[in-house]
Structure 1
Amino acid sequence: MQQADLILTNATIVDGSGADRYVADIAIAGERIAAIGSFPDATAPRLDVSGLVVAPGFIDSHTHDDGYLLAHPDMTPKVSQGITTVVTGNCGVSLAPLDPSIADRIPQPLDLLGPPELFRFSRFADWIAELRATPAAVNVIPLVGHTTLRVATMDDTQRPATEPEIAAMQVMMEEALQAGAFGMSTGTFYPPAAHAPTAEIMAVGAPMRTHGGLYATHLRDETDQIVPAMQEALDIGRELDCLVVLSHHKLAGQANHGRSAETLALIDRAATLQPVCLDCHPYPATSTMLRLDRVRIARRTMITWSKGYPEAKGRDFADLMAELGLDEQALLEKLTPAGAIYFLMDEKDVRRIMAHPSAMVGSDGLPFDPHPHPRQWGTFTNVLRTLVREQSVLTLEEAVHKMTGLAARNYGVAERGLLQPGYYADLVLFDPEQVGDRATFDVPVQASQGIQGVWVNGQRVWADGAAGTARPGQVLVPTRRASATAAASAA
């Protein structure tokens, strides 16, 4: 074994592959795992981790951390729950490329990515360059958002794009892929992209057929019309010859509770023909901009922020209606722009989706919300507490695989997601009997318990219940695949 900088001794290793745990030592040298085995004669510093689990650092498959990485590079909400890599640019919204001159009038939901001063990158490459010049504590897998491209190129997003506008978006897509974007995301659920027809999305994404990439989508509809929306996403994936990632897969509204059996069967059938997977989180509530269509199908709606009436933060929509004597429309107008948490999913659906073999874990947190959904601080530790330890929906090995090896494979990330000699030393150390989330809907900003240490590229970024000063995160480079279909066939 080469000289090591640190040896974690007597570790219970859950390696990210789904294989059974085992006990061994892990030697770290520089950015990499030097060796795994027994090293009684090695002279490197040692940390005895007897009784604790060492796993690959968790990969958050769905975030909106594009601007948070720059504003808060310690990334405490993420490293405190064991996350070492975040996937940004989801739901069609990415921080770049966008002309800084329109930063103070960007439409929702782009504003969920942070304050106007963060929207200062007219090229995707400029944002990537700043992340590399001033790295955060975690690694980044960047996607480029179709909605952002629409806002950047169109004077009116309430219509389909014209051919010149599509051509302009294609140029931006090409530039983003060359700069390192792993693919494209869409969010046709949201107003700025709701009028984009399927053909427009296929055309904008066309450069991926040359450069490779994946397609992540917040579907047009997650309620009654979810099946046609899924079929549209699958059509786009086939046209672009790429992996489809169904974002935060859910069935919204009581009328659709139980339909996860139907949608997961559809995913299974599609997977025999094309690459497809999904991400999800373990909560029965979601969060986004305030919309009446969501208020009306939710059993409860909590306001996370409001520019029109800041006192609404943390309050229930129904209570505000009664208190202020306003109907739904009038209260919406008073609060807007605003964000909300919607309790509109069935826990049985959540568990069924989380247990599906192709499901990755993604927080979908909105980090700048004054009263955020607890998923921003607790998604991964909630899975370990509720679905593994309390409910036995997943084994520890299955849960870690979803959080690590599966995500690394789907996103085409080399030498991460598994504990293997030669792989990057992205590690999380935790107590399997104590690990859990503290963040709640009432008090959401709370660090998890039981996470003893987190290393990113060999440097410790979480220890003794606090974030460190190291900023070793990297903007990861995609392993381009010539053809998603060829890759699926080879597998």
Structure 2
Amino acid sequence: MRGRRASPTADLVDEGGAPDQKAVVGVMAREFDLVIRGGTVVDGTGAEQVDADVAVLGDRIVEVGTVTGGGREEIDAAGAIVTPGFVDVHTHYDGQVTWENRLSPSSNHGVTTVVMGNCGVGFAPARAAERPMMISLMEGVEDIPEVVMAEGLPWNWESFPDYLEALAAREADIDFAAQLPHSPLRVYVMGKRGAELEPPTTGDLAEMRRLTAQAIRAGAVGVSTSRTYAHRFTDGRPAPSIHTEDEEVLALADGLRDAGAGVFQMVPNTRLPVAEQYALLHAIARRSGRPVSFTFMQHEEQPGGWREMLGHLDQARAEGLAIRGQVLPRPTGALLGLELSLHPFALNPSYAPLAGLPLAEKVAALREPQTRRRLLAETPAHPHAFFTHIVSDLERMFVLGDPPNYNPAASDSIAARARAAGRSPAEEIYEALLARDGHEILYRPLGNLVGARFEGSGRDLLGHDLTVLALGDGGAHYSTICDAAYPTYLLTYWMRDATDGRGVTLAHAVRLLTFEPARAMGFADRGRIAAGMRADLNVLDLERLHLHAPRAVYDLRAGGRRLVQRADGYVATVKSGAVTYREGVHTGALPGRLLRGAQSAPA
């Protein structure tokens, strides 16, 4: 894994290409704040790896090569790789960042910058009377317990610029940037009419456009919306943005054009033909003149639609439009279990009296023969159609296992196992949920599959230059999804453990995690290792890199539950020059701050 050693004066040349001797002498004599010594640098650009030291002064990288000066702190990276900090452009830390200083689980997996406010949901703008509605929407869409938000959110804002000011006062273990979400904006402008899905007036559209431009000028990095039927309040009502007319969405695009900055993020209505989904993305890109990104995966309803969409994206590029799909490097899916929000019997009528019991009591009740008979005889009943969809398909449920298997074969399903044993899938799933005293986690894949496998669509989606790795969803889906661990997954399943030609190279994997998502958001000061860039870095022992199975913990406000997923092999993570994690343990450093808008490249 070793390459050529970079020249210690590679970035210190005069206009004619000769080393600037005064600059060299100045650097050689300098004491650095941090030196990462003896590692293999994978710089994020996709270039060949090199053996080099990395020196940091303040929050910037100042030298890459043979560093002769000492550092006040040094990390021995011999045998390890050194990468830029990872960037996840699709998270939901909008609430968590206001009550916690650690943006985990993302920060546990080498991520040093996140973008939140995706999917058109969030907490600003919001007047006092609208706050309960925003909490209810986030509970239904993003699986954040209502009590956690009610206790944790300080609500020291109303407008979106107010919200950014509140965020600017926060400290965290990683940097965070915010987008303006469509649903709160609609309700803020239209009041009850917006929540009840009434069409906007001309004045409403003009105000949404004005407030979008205002938010971008105040430091929002973009605006987001959602059209997916899955995004609903807990009582089944659709999110305010879902059924809006295209002209309303385009009013937000106009706001980006007025501000001359920002990106547009969207979750499309995947029940529409692909051509119709693309038509709106195309209109947004043309109207705004700004980059557009969207949640992109292979869906159950249109298993071959992803190929058609890739063709449209190529066409958009030929027209000079910037439209990229956000992709996850593994199948999308839900995690189910007795400790979690959902499982195949959670929505059955007879389960309601058991739902709030401590786990041990719940398991004891479920082992009673009469309870078992009742639950097996019932079917799910809930106003949230997407929830019932997740738990009803008994053919595609798997025991996740430890280490977790996100790419099981169809023959590994619980239903297949049941038929082999002469039992019904429901009976086998019932017993599986009781395994490990009720701690067992089941896996229900939802997309990015060919048959029951990921590799067909996944390899092509990962390899296409008009996609961007994202969708960690950190800060949301606390008890149904734990996808924020995808950087570790990419570096193990797709890179280190790749077989049968399915893998990606180390240089390409690091580029997907760093340079590409940073570029997609206009963060030109990070995502690669070079002099002048922000000192966001990871030191990784690839041989020890290991992803553990997710598990439930109860460490949110009011004893709220969330899934966490540990990883081994992260020797150190550095954010803005400060070591934030050593061997996965937080050092206490909180150098992360709010990013306002695009970040300029270093001079």
C-alpha distance 110-370 of structure 1, shift in aligned 2 (>3 A): closer
CA contact (8 A) 2:334 2:444 kept: yes
Equivalents in 1 of 2:536, 2:373: separation in Å?
A: 48
C-alpha distance 133-310 of structure 1, shift in aligned 2 (>3 A): farther
CA contact (8 A) 2:568 2:583 kept: no
Deviations 1:268-311 (A, max 9, x none): 221211111121112322459xxxxxx9xxxx97979x997782
Equivalents in 1 of 2:492, 2:596: separation in Å?
A: 32
Question: Secondary structure at 1:344's aligned position in 2?
Answer: strand
Residue among 224, 229, 239 paired with 2:287: 239
After TM superposition, list the pairs within 5 Å mapping 1:195-214 onto structure 2. 195-211=243-259, 212-214=261-263
Shifted more, 88-97 versus 255-264: the winner is 255-264
Aligned to 1:311: 355
After TM superposition, list the pairs within 5 Å mapping 1:60-459 onto structure 2. 60-106=88-134, 109-111=137-139, 112=142, 115-117=149-151, 118=153, 120=155, 121-154=157-190, 155-156=192-193, 157=195, 158-189=197-228, 190=231, 191=238, 192-211=240-259, 212-221=261-270, 223=271, 225-247=273-295, 249-253=296-300, 255-273=301-319, 274-286=321-333, 311=355, 323=375, 325-328=377-380, 330-332=381-383, 343-345=445-447, 346=449, 347=454, 348-365=456-473, 367-376=475-484, 378-391=485-498, 392-440=502-550, 444-459=563-578
C-alpha distance 119-208 of structure 1, shift in aligned 2 (>3 A): farther
Deviations 1:236-279 (A, max 9, x none): 111111111122x11211x5224322222221221211111121
Q: CA deviation at 1:146?
A: 1.1
Equivalents in 2 of 1:332, 1:52: separation in Å?
A: 51
Q: CA deviation at 1:327?
A: 3.3
Deviations 1:174-196 (A, max 9, x none): 32112101111111224221221
Of structures 1 and 2, the larger Rg is shown by 2
Deviations 1:139-168 (A, max 9, x none): 112111112211222313323222232233
TM-score norm. by structure 2 comes to 0.70
CA contact (8 A) 2:382 2:388 kept: no
Question: Secondary structure at 1:473's aligned position in 2?
Answer: coil
C-alpha distance 106-141 of structure 1, shift in aligned 2 (>3 A): closer
C-alpha distance 407-270 of structure 1, shift in aligned 2 (>3 A): same
Aligned to 1:488: none
Equivalents in 2 of 1:453, 1:128: separation in Å?
A: 30
Q: CA deviation at 1:339?
A: 9.2
Amino acid at match of 2:267: H
CA contact (8 A) 1:140 1:475 kept: yes
Equivalents in 1 of 2:345, 2:53: separation in Å?
A: 47
C-alpha distance 9-161 of structure 1, shift in aligned 2 (>3 A): same
Equivalents in 1 of 2:389, 2:133: separation in Å?
A: 15
Equivalents in 2 of 1:200, 1:83: separation in Å?
A: 34
Unaligned stretches of 5+ in structure 2? 1-26, 232-237, 336-341, 363-370, 392-442, 554-562
CA contact (8 A) 2:211 2:255 kept: no
Amino acid at match of 2:518: A
Deviations 1:15-51 (A, max 9, x none): 1111111110000111111111102354644321011
Amino acid at match of 1:110: M
Question: Secondary structure at 1:479's aligned position in 2?
Answer: coil
Question: Secondary structure at 2:299's aligned position in 1?
Answer: coil
C-alpha distance 359-433 of structure 1, shift in aligned 2 (>3 A): farther
Equivalents in 2 of 1:277, 1:27: separation in Å?
A: 34
Unaligned stretches of 5+ in structure 1? 289-294, 482-491
Deviations 1:55-110 (A, max 9, x none): 11000111111111222212231111000000111011122111133222337543
Shifted more, 55-64 versus 89-98: the winner is 89-98
Question: Secondary structure at 2:241's aligned position in 1?
Answer: helix
Equivalents in 2 of 1:477, 1:239: separation in Å?
A: 23
Question: Secondary structure at 2:588's aligned position in 1?
Answer: coil
CA contact (8 A) 2:82 2:539 kept: yes
TM-score norm. by structure 1 comes to 0.85
Aligned to 2:365: none
Residue among 58, 69, 75 paired with 1:47: 75
Amino acid at match of 1:67: G
Question: Secondary structure at 1:35's aligned position in 2?
Answer: strand
Shifted more, 42-51 versus 25-34: the winner is 42-51
Q: CA deviation at 1:119?
A: 7.1
CA contact (8 A) 2:98 2:167 kept: yes
Amino acid at match of 1:136: A
Aligned to 2:593: 474
Deviations 1:115-134 (A, max 9, x none): 13527231112222222212
Q: CA deviation at 1:358?
A: 2.6
